[in-house]
Amino acid sequence: MAGMGAGPDHLFNLRNQFYLGAYQTAINNSEIRNLSPEDAVERDCLVFRSYIALGSYQLVISEIDESAATPLQAVKLLAMYLSSPANKESTISSLREWLADPTIGNNATLRLVAGVVFMHEEDYSEALKHTHAGGTMDLHALNVQIFIKMHRTDYAEKQLGVMQQYDEDHTLTQLATAWFNLAVGGSKIQEAYLIFQDFCEKYPMTCLILNGKAVCCMQMGNFDEAETLLLEALNKDAKDPETLANLVVCSLHVGKSSSRYLSQLKLSHPEHVLVKRVSSAEDNFERAVQSVA
């Protein structure tokens, strides 16, 4: 798996910042000396994926040129896919072409991007075709997410087992455990809450950590605490789609208007699942929100 080599792991902190949603911090701290060529490519991928997470698609598209390594070309494809719904089809056909090329088709970053793109398309079996073999912690974590979306927690649990066997304390193992616990529900939600609480104590707060904790609170019926956490997340990033979507749900439960959050979500993320469900005529607003919650 990635990072299994002997010797110091120069990218450990950078990876952690990316996984926990500290995207700007990752970008700011990416000048790392004495990297091997392979590590330098991974570093650049993490930086460009951080820019993608911040919505800076055009920057990624313009900075990665034709001569860049395959993993970087794959990250550029992801930026192209997310930046332009109109050109989605051509981006997906390029992706399929590359995956079919025996010289690069098995590249872990390309497979990861394929998994992310097809998961966005809700074509889970196509996503798994490329991610299921695993090989990196990122791919296993993505498999957990895909299986959860398919409501197959049994398969998600197997992937989680592989991650735990490799490194129980790895940030992605902890995150995937929390997602799994939230999907299973019941008494597991408290366990998920404790994982996010642990992140809060170890690392600077990010929207990702705050939202994770808030979702646990909502599932346990603690909507006041959830609202406090979500407003703190909103302070960090007023356009974060998950924060806005969770605030829509949370506001309904604490008896406040959610229309402003929904308007912001519509403006900044018209493709968000909540926006789509609310705007489809056959669904009334309350039911749409419940289905997402």
Nearest to 142 by CA among 111, 169, 121, 107: 111
Residue 282 has pLDDT above 50, yes or no: no
Name every residue whose Cβ is closer than 8 Å to that of residue 137 and which is 6 or more positions away in sequence.
Answer: 1, 2, 3, 163, 166, 167, 170, 172, 173
Q: How far apart (Å, rounded) are the C-alpha atoms in residues 206 and 9?
A: 23
Cα–Cα dist 208/253, whole Å = 21
Per-position DSSP letters for 102-157, written without gaps between them: TTTTT-HHHHHHHHHHHHHTT-HHHHHHHHTT--SHHHHHHHHHHHHHTT-HHHHH
- For the stretch 237-258, pLDDT in tens is 999 999 999 999 999 899 999 8
Residue of higher predicted confidence among 199 and 283? 199
More reliable by pLDDT, 85 or 291: 85
Q: What is the rounded CA–CA span in Å between residue 173 and residue 241?
A: 24
3-state DSSP call for residue 54? coil
Q: Work out the average pLDDT over 266-290.
A: 72
**84 or 27: whose pLDDT is higher?**
27
**Would you say 184 and 157 are in contact if contact means Cβ atoms under 8 Å apart?**
no
Lowest mean pLDDT among 93-97, 188-192, 222-226, 271-275: 271-275
pLDDT tens readout for residues 80-98? 999 988 889 999 999 999 9
Q: For residue 116, is pLDDT > 60? A: yes
Among 81, 25, 28, 32, residue whose Cα is nearest residue 52? 81
Fold held by 206-292: 1.25.40
Residue extents of the structural domains in the chain: 206-292
For the ranges 15-29, 51-65, 93-107, 273-287, which has the lowest average pLDDT?
Answer: 273-287
